[in-house]
Structure 1
Amino acid sequence: MRLPPDQWRQSADYLHGIDLYNYAYWWECHEVFEGLWNAAGHHSEQGNFFQAIIQLAAANLKLSMENPQAAHNLLHRGMIRLQRVPESYMGVDVAGLTEDLQKCVAGSTLYAPLIRLNERN
């Protein structure tokens, strides 16, 4: 079932997927967001957003498996996808997340940035 972007607060799957990402259950996060991505449509704005999160989760998984080249490629592709959605989308400060991801890619942080939800948007 397709999730209207302004109803993200009511989606148990979406909220659960964000929690899985933030608690480093990246494979499980990938699985949840793949279902949301398929329902949203692969070429929609929302589908693009979900695919970005899938790529970020996969990048973190690759980092934990000590495959930095694959992680870098996935992070880069995920950040490109995030540039195609509004700066604030489905409760996520996309601009802030992108900035945190850039710090990760630049090597100034060793940890995957959290996806923080903002109740106001």
Structure 2
Amino acid sequence: MTLRYSRKPFPAYRYIPGRQPHPTRDPDGHSYGSEPLELAQFDPADWHNCDEYLYAIDLLNHGYWWEAHESLEAIWLAAGQRTTQVGRFVQGLLQIGVGILKHHQEQEGGAQRLWQSGLDKISVRDPIYLGLDTRALQRSVRELINGERDALPELVLHFDKGNDKD
């Protein structure tokens, strides 16, 4: 059974474009009428206390790739987007998740581009970054690119390792 890091409930369904109502635009969407998520800041040294980050990892682990994109985008914006290492790393996670979504939509060209771009962004020197084993994550993404796997393995957060600094 996959671990949960947050208490926030999952949406009613995993959104895959063209298969279910759009979560925010369609009145039948699971998040219709909700306000867009905004975070004032994201401190990489305090990732383990960021409910939205923990929820984003839960979403990725349980196949809610579109929904994970929404959570990770809010974190990415709060983290400084492309101007910081943490921003680039979060964008890499976002791209890897969207790549898996594209793969499930049989859009292999888009999936490959997103996985490669995501791999470039998660390639940091720290063996543990934002609680994630970066070497294992990089290896898994390479396996996605090479067609050796269809999905990421469970992302396990290491609460006792690493000192995330930007």
User: What is the TM-score with the length of structure 2 in the denominator?
Assistant: 0.69
Q: Which amino acid aligns with 1:7?
A: D
The answer to whether 1:11 aligns with 2:11 is no
What CA distance in whole angstroms lies between the structure 1 residues aligned with 2:107 and 2:63?
Answer: 16
For the 8 Å contact 1:101–1:113, the answer to whether it is kept is no
Structure 1 unaligned regions, length at least 5 = none
Deviation at 1:85, TM superposition (A): 5.5
2:89 corresponds to 1:89: no
In structure 2, the partner of 1:54 is 94
Number of aligned residues: 121
Counterpart Cα distance in 2 of 1:90 and 1:38: 16
Residue identity (%)? 30
- For residues 111 and 154 of structure 2, the distance between their equivalents in structure 1, rounded to whole angstroms, comes to 16
RMSD: 1.3
Give the number of the structure whose residues are more often helix, by fraction. 1
Contact 2:131/2:159, CA 8 A, preserved across alignment: yes
CA distance in 2, matches of 1:9, 1:110: 28
Residue deviations 1:17-55 (CA, integer Å, cap 9, x gap): 000011010000000010011111111111001100110
Greater C-alpha Rg:
2
1:87 Cα offset (Å): 2.5
- Deviation above 3 Å: which 4+ runs of structure 1? none
19, 23, 26: which one aligns with 2:65: 26
TM-score (norm: length of structure 1): 0.93
> 1:8 Cα deviation (Å)?
1.2
